[in-house]
């Protein structure tokens, strides 16, 4: 789901950077409004490492192979820290793994970071009415993972379909994009399950980690 | 002496016979069918270097059916050739050697892909292909990034305690 260099026109990559800059500014503003903004940095740092490594673990889904994104998990556990964490993780993925690219860093940050912020707000709903419980944490954790990855796939598909260059075989490329989107359906549910299991585990062993989100 | 004269006359006669024989053989060659000259060989050559690319994902899966666009050095915007990779991610083409320089080959499949730069002809000796890193290099670099993250986490968790 990382869009590499040379696929999108300059106008789209430029808009991606502008949107990413705006969202990063907003996220940092929200982080600074916290009582102790540094409190969650260790958590954000470790999850950045998890996000960075996740794209290297391939899951074979014929005819292609996919990888976990973990943006729903980051959104659920980190809140507004998730966006800068994903941005840093994407930067290292681009320069080290060749996943994505530096020109498309802004677009990729929006594809994966924006759904993470949506996942954060979904996960907060577990506290709605009578506070959270283990079951509600699992349910909203699952929903966070599913929705975040689902939106990421949808954004990836829409951005590609609306920017198909004229010199390629559009019909063939469109079919390949749809095939890739279908291959991500199992990933969406795996992401939901992973997010649910991790949030439930954390709530059980150290619920304090979830206090701030 | 008379005997010697007879001998010289015989040699002269023999030479005349040889000359006549040589003329006869030459005439025979001249009037032979022309097919004999077809054994002559005329070879011209044109140096065409075929370029074969193999496109795979970093997981090793071939990019079967990926679209390929080849760009000539003097026109980086309009594809000189387009095509499709086979089931093993292979695609071959013969660049026009009259257009030396760096030829760009872009491979694309479902929004994924990349570009490789192939030098053709002239003094373009620098190949700037997509080499990438080995698994060992990626492993070491990843370990550095992970350690950086853990170090950051430890640093800020310590600050919080003090």
Q: Which residue has the tokens 């077809």?
A: B38
Domains of chain A: 10-210 (1.10.1760.20)
Tell whether the model's pLDDT for residue B128 goes beyond 50.
Answer: no
The residue of chain B nearest to residue A182, with distances taken between CA atoms, is B110
Q: Chain A within 8 Å of B40 (Cβ-Cβ)?
A: no
Domain residue spans of chain B: 2-35, 51-137
Interface of A with B in 138-167 (CB under 8 A): 156, 160, 167
Instruction: Choose among A2, A38, A52: nearest Cβ to B156.
Output: A38
Q: Which residues of B touch A39 (CB under 8 A)?
A: 160
Cβ–Cβ under 8 Å, residues A89 and A112 = no
Architecture label for domain B51-137: Sandwich (2.60)
Residue predicted with more confidence, B128 or B90: B90
Q: Which residues of B touch A2 (CB under 8 A)?
A: 112
Q: Cβ contact (<8 Å) for B149 and A49?
A: yes
Tell whether the model's pLDDT for residue A168 goes beyond 90.
Answer: no
B interface test, pick of A176, A177, A209 with most B CB neighbours within 10 Å: A176
- Spatial separation of the C-alpha atoms in residues B129 and B115, rounded to whole Å: 8
Q: Which of B60-64, B93-97, B132-136 is predicted with the least confidence, judged by mean pLDDT?
A: B132-136
Instruction: Report in angstroms the alpha-carbon separations of B150 from A49, A50, A56, B56.
Output: 8, 11, 19, 33
Q: What is the pLDDT of residues B83-102, one digit of tens each?
A: 999 988 899 998 888 888 88
Q: Which of A82-96, A123-137, B9-23, B118-132 is predicted with the least confidence, judged by mean pLDDT?
A: B118-132
Q: Chain B within 8 Å of A98 (Cβ-Cβ)?
A: yes
Cβ–Cβ under 8 Å, residues A4 and A115 = no
Q: Which of A138-147, B13-22, B38-47 is predicted with the least confidence, judged by mean pLDDT?
A: B13-22
The per-residue pLDDT of chain A, averaged, comes to 91
Q: Chain B within 8 Å of A6 (Cβ-Cβ)?
A: yes
């Amino acid at each position: 789901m990382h869009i590499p260099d040379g696929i999108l026109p300059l106008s789209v990559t430029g808009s991606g950077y502008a949107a990413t800059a705006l969202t990063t500014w907003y996220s940092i503003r929200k982080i600074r409004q916290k009582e102790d903004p540094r409190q969650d940095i260790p958590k954000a740092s470790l999850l950045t490492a998890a996000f960075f490594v996740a794209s290297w673990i391939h899951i074979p889904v014929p005819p292609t192979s996919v990888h976990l994104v973990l943006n729903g998990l980051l959104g659920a556990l980190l809140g507004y820290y998730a966006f800068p964490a994903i941005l840093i993780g994407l930067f290292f993925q681009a320069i080290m793994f060749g996943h994505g690219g530096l020109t498309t860093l802004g677009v990729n940050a929006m594809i994966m970071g924006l759904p993470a912020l949506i996942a954060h707000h979904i996960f907060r709903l577990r506290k709605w009415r009578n506070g959270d419980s283990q079951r509600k944490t699992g349910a909203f954790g699952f929903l966070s993972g599913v929705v975040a990855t689902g939106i990421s796939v949808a954004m990836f598909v829409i951005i590609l379909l609306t920017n198909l260059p004229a010199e390629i075989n559009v019909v063939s490329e469109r079919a390949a994009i749809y095939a890739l989107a279908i291959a991500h359906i199992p990933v969406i549910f795996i992401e939901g399950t992973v997010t649910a299991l991790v949030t439930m585990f954390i709530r059980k062993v150290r619920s304090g980690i979830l206090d701030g989100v | 002496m008379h005997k010697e004269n007879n001998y010289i006359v015989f040699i002269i006669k023999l030479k005349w016979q040889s000359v006549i024989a040589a003329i006869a053989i030459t005439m025979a060659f001249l009037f032979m069918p022309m097919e004999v000259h077809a054994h002559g060989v005329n070879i011209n050559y044109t140096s065409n270097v075929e370029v074969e690319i193999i496109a795979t994902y970093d997981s090793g899966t071939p990019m079967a059916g990926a679209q390929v666009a080849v760009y000539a050095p003097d026109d980086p915007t309009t594809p000189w050739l387009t095509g499709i990779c086979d089931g093993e991610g292979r695609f071959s083409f013969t660049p026009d050697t009259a257009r030396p320089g760096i030829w760009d080959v872009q491979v694309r499949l479902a929004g994924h892909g990349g570009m490789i730069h192939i030098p053709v002809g002239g003094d373009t000796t620098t190949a700037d292909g997509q080499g990438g890193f080995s698994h060992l290099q990626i492993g070491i670099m990843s370990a550095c990034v992970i350690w950086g993250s853990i170090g950051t986490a430890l640093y800020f968790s310590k600050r919080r305690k003090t």
